[in-house]
Homo-oligomer: A and B are copies of this chain.
Amino acid sequence: MNIIVDAMGGDNAPLQVVKGALDAALDYKNIDITLVGDENKIRDCSKELEMTIPDNISIVHTDVVVEMDDDPMVVMKEKSESSMAIGLKLLKDDKGDAFVSAGSTGALHTASTLIVRKIKGIRRSAIATILPFTPPILMLDAGANPVVTPDLLLQWAVVGSAYMKKVFGVKNPRVGLLNNGTEEHKGTPTACEAYAWLKEKVGINFVGNIESKEIPNSPCDVLVTDGFTGNITLKFAEGMGKFIGKNLTEIFKSNILTKLSYLFFFKKKIKKFKKRLDASEYGGAPLLGLSKPVIKAHGSSKAKEIKTAIRQAIEYSRSNIIEEVSREIK
């Protein structure tokens, strides 16, 4: 198995991406990694890290890089020779089994759709992100499709269920529809219609409308929604987490006594709780609905997160999700 990695994508590229890939190549058995990016810079990174590039890592050179604020279409036009575009083309041409990038989400989604293409019958692919509650929830779409139709939500319920079954080992994933009330008639016309379709759909375990206040209690394993609401929900969780964290830190640091008791009694426990809520522990966000596995690692990924995303790409690739979904959608 060969995992293609965009060495130049993300805030900490190429150093942290190269380190993550090197760590993965050492630790994971029977895999190859293709690093796409500036060969000189990649070799410089390996020197800086004092790690030699092992035989199971190959490099495909390009010095063109997609920037975080580039227009998504740039990958297809001016930057068709970028590490992101070349990586996706290698994937499309069966030169690898999965692609991992920490680069621009919009660019990766657009370029993946146009280069790798969707599963036949799937109208639009979605960004699926893990909400790190217990058990974790796969929410899709997390931002690629601000406006949706009921059939898209139904398709994402199918792909999301397959992913949670095969990659997370959830037996009969509970599918929920994010809505502004639990009753069947609630929400936008799209949500109402999606409810009716999801209820009738054989092969998925639809548990009804989910109110956002219930999300932290993990009322479902797969949560479908439009990319506008999904993105706002995802980012609000991030913002609320930071806000509460900051305020707690202030409370713990308010005087010498609180500081000491924090150090002795709470530090470990708070760290453990924070870690439990760290989405990056679960790897990146798969772009579901594509005909090949593409994983979007978080833009701020360090080596550890890149390595986790590579492991996730291996698992995704080993599963037969895409074949299963193809059959189901047909």
Which residues of chain A have a CB within 8 Å of any CB of chain B? 133, 143, 146-147, 178, 180-181, 187-189, 191, 211-217, 227-229, 231-233, 235-244, 247-248, 251, 254, 257-258, 261, 264-266, 269-270, 273
Contacts and interface: CB of A to CB of B under 8 A. Distances in A.
Contacts of A188: 146-147, 228
A228 B188 CA distance: 7
B273 A251 contact: yes
Contact of A212 (B215, B236, B254): B236
B212 A235 contact: yes
A254 B217 CA distance: 21
A235 B213 contact: yes
Nearest to A178: B232
Nearest first, the 8 closest Cβ-Cβ pairs linking A and B are A213-B239, A216-B243, A212-B236, A180-B231, A261-B261, A213-B235, A212-B235, A212-B232
B235 A211 contact: yes
A191 B270 CA distance: 39
A232 B180 contact: yes
Contacts of A216: 239-240, 242-243
Contacts of A266: 251, 258, 261
Contacts of A261: 261, 265-266
A251 B269 contact: yes
Nearest to A276: B247
A239 B215 contact: yes
Nearest to A216: B243
A213 B214 CA distance: 19
A239 B265 contact: no
Contacts of A240: 216, 236-237, 240-241, 244
Nearest to A258: B265
A254 B269 CA distance: 9
